Structure 1
């Protein structure tokens, strides 16, 4: 299975307790999710295990990839390790599964797109401000009007310094 069939009937898979091991799913235009992700297609190596719990379908999955992000300091592209393992419970309303140990995933149809699960995990894992490793990122001090003025100002003497000598 090479990612073309990312839409599946999850309830049938759960009843059969099916497992999808090491499938590759390619997602294009991830830059629509976040401006920090490059526009290149990204390939994810995924494993999905389907099962039922309390009449709800559950999916345990593992997703691995290298996301190409844009450093917010240097604007250079760098690779971010994306490695997620999670279990979700599929429901139409998250109030129906409040007592579950798993994260609810809302799906109103019998078909689920595995790409939606991957996109959701990307949003949750994406750094707030993507930065390259600090040792490789070009950190240059930005020119500032105030930084120049700071060096021009001379230190003022404390007017009460004289009182200390009088003691």
Structure 2
């Protein structure tokens, strides 16, 4: 069964649905979410996307990301995908909304109205190997240096979110998740 994405206007009002690959080929604006998980030491949980992903395989990215299903609340979808991709659950807090349009690879475009969630977790992730081939906890200064020094190692959306929001906002998200 093809995954259907929720198409939205620039105010995040649903205007229809579309098949996932077609939406990405046409660059249609759709609802999405990005999850950033921290441990109590304030380190960021990154995942390396599995090589077999339909785009951006092998790149480091945020803890989890995805799309809500039609009729599914965005926060519930974020918790579902965190469990499916990284094998754990934690409380998530909605902290931002970001809209972007990025060419990701092979003619595919991520044009997303992205809901950003943060959470705290101190266990050991158990990622689904079809979703994530590796994971790492990174202190923010180390992550920020890597994003600047080796940007090609990271997903386009993680780089864009970092550039668009800035280090101070990343620090605020970290603070919200770890208190």
TM over 0.5: no
The structure richer in helix per residue is: 2
Taking CA–CA contacts closer than 8 Å with sequence separation of 6 or more, which of the two structures ends up with the larger relative contact order? 2
TM class by shorter-chain length? under 0.3
Output the TM-score relative to the length of structure 1.
0.25
